[in-house]
Structure 1
Amino acid sequence: MGELSNCPKCNTLFVKTEIHDVCRECYKEEDAKFQKVYEFIRKRENRTATMPEVEQATGVEQDLIMKWIKIGKLKVASMPNIGYKCERCGSLIKTGKLCEPCKKGITNELTSLKKEEERQLAQKRATYFS
């Protein structure tokens, strides 16, 4: 069930749900903007457009376009120049919060930390006190 909240755009009171994070009127506005962006990037000649080019051609803010990509409303798999920034390094990504190199780097760091902890634990066990 939703919770009572103020719309972040117009400050109207509404019931916030997992699907809608703005009031009904603002959602209708967002949906109209989405249709404009979708129609633009659907055209073959616009598939290589960058985020600023899409913003300029449609008049829709980049933040809103990135929101649609993050929630999966806008599929950009066939558009090489549209995405959002990795939260660690800022490179362009299309899914998740981190790019693959950052994921691998974090995994490697965790693995080396785990090995270091295991080494220290083994060293503690081998030490005898008299």
Structure 2
Amino acid sequence: MALANCKTCGRLFNRLHNDNCPVCVKEEDEQFFLVRDYLKENRRAMIVEVSEATEVEISTIIKFIREGRLATIDNPNLNYPCDSCGTAITDGRFCKPCKDRLNRGFSQTKDELMDTARKKQGGDYYYKRERDR
């Protein structure tokens, strides 16, 4: 039995699969159903409108989208800000330009680390393996 504190309310509970206690999971599910039902009737609603109408926080609605519980394909105006630049996006955490910038940065850092490792080894050199001799 794994005991944990709920990430939402701090209550101690028997953790099986979720980071939240059963009470908070139930409340979150109720919020999800409110948002889902509102979006069924108002497909073109923006995230701010949905939040105001259902009294569910925008961060919770974004969480539902990121978890795949809400589909932005069905709700074309359900945009939220990119975590990096704030541009409106419909999935993931970053917009395409930010993803590309991050990937370039990762590639550049990887190349620099590889160059540093090669220099520490004394440059590029080759040796014969035991079976080649």
TM-score (norm 2): 0.70
Alignment of 1:3-82 (within 5 A): 3-18=2-17, 20-43=18-41, 46-82=42-78
Match of 1:128 in 2: none
The root-mean-square deviation of aligned C-alpha atoms, in Å, is 3.0
Mapped partners of 2:85, 2:76: distance in 1: 18
- Secondary structure of 1:56's counterpart equals helix
Q: Contact 2:48 / 2:58 at 8 angstroms: preserved in 1?
A: yes
TM-score (norm 1): 0.71
- Secondary structure of 1:14's counterpart equals strand
What 5-or-longer segments of structure 1 have no aligned partner?
126-130
Question: How many residue pairs end up in the alignment?
Answer: 119
What 5-or-longer segments of structure 2 have no aligned partner?
124-133
Counterpart of 1:60, as a letter, is V
Q: What is the Cα deviation at residue 89 of structure 1?
A: 0.9
Mapped partners of 2:16, 2:98: distance in 1: 32
- Computing the radius of gyration over CA atoms, which structure comes out larger, 1 or 2? 2
